[in-house]
Amino acid sequence: MDKPELTSRLKAIITTYAQETDALAHLTEETDFIKDLKINSANLVDIVLDVEEEFGIEIDNDSMSRMLTVGAAIEIIEAKLAANDRE
Amino acid sequence: MNKADILAHLPYSKPFLFVDDLQEIDENGVKGSYTFDAGLDFYKGHFKDNPVTPGVILTETMAQIGLVCLGIYLSGTAEGGMPGHVMLTSTAIDFMKPVFPGEKVTVVAEKVYFRFKKLNCNVQMLNEAGDVVCKGTIAGMVTNKMNA
């Protein structure tokens, strides 16, 4: 899966929970889920659960705690997908 | 943690404690009951001369039994776990029947998931006749702090 496809599938998930439509429209890798998109910690968990289902990966506690920006999320998803491919 | 430990750990007191007793609790869910004291203050105003338990209080009762008791149990029985506090983060409830002063209700909750400290439950409230008075989904974060 290339990065644009991954990003667009991630954005579809985020759209369900984001409170700030402006920040959502101008999504970058620096976009912060909590500060910019005004997503609360409970909905951040739902995003991670949706990401697991959408990409067929498992997010551990350590990855969850690092998943604060769109860029960090993309990096973690890419790493998990690559690890799945190696298995 | 046994049922008495959980009740002792609840951070509420009268007039905002809406749990009398727990009948069942395990890692998948909880069942508990509460009888609405006819002397509760809000009945004076909801409604004037026609007391009915407010939907927010039914929701709170479902949350205290179905979410908070289960959250305390799950966090307290986790390996090396300390019983935490449960911060309500979302509710989606449908109301079917009124609950009048003095009625005893039973709340039954089933865990949907408990991951990354978020507990999500399907919760039902039944009256003494066994009819569902309200049901829905309640979620919260299990934290170490009372007001994070």
Give the tens place of pLDDT for each residue, B53-74: 999 999 999 999 999 999 999 9
Of B59, B82, B84, B68, residue with least CA distance to B30:
B68
Which CATH superfamily hosts domain B3-143? Hotdog Thioesterase (3.10.129.10)
Chain B CB contacts of A40 below 8 Å: 89
Q: Verify whether residue B85 is a known catalytic residue.
A: no
Residue A54's domain spans which residues?
3-86
Token representation of residue B20: 């009398």
For strands B21-26 and B29-35, give the pairing. antiparallel
How much is the pLDDT for B82?
Answer: 82
Residues on A contacting B at a C-beta cutoff of 8 Å = 40-43, 45-46, 48-49, 61, 64
H or E stretch covering B141? strand B132-143
What residue ranges do the domains of chain B occupy?
Answer: 3-143
Whether B117 and chain A come into contact, CB under 8 Å, resolves to yes
- Determine, for residues B116 and A46 on separate chains, whether the beta-carbon distance falls below 8 Å: no
pLDDT tens for residues B25-52?
999 999 999 999 999 999 999 999 999 9
The count of domains in chain A is 1
List the CATH number of the domain containing A45.
Answer: 1.10.1200.10
Task: Name residue A78's amino acid.
Answer: E
Cβ burial of A14 (10 Å; 0-12, 13-18, 19+) is buried
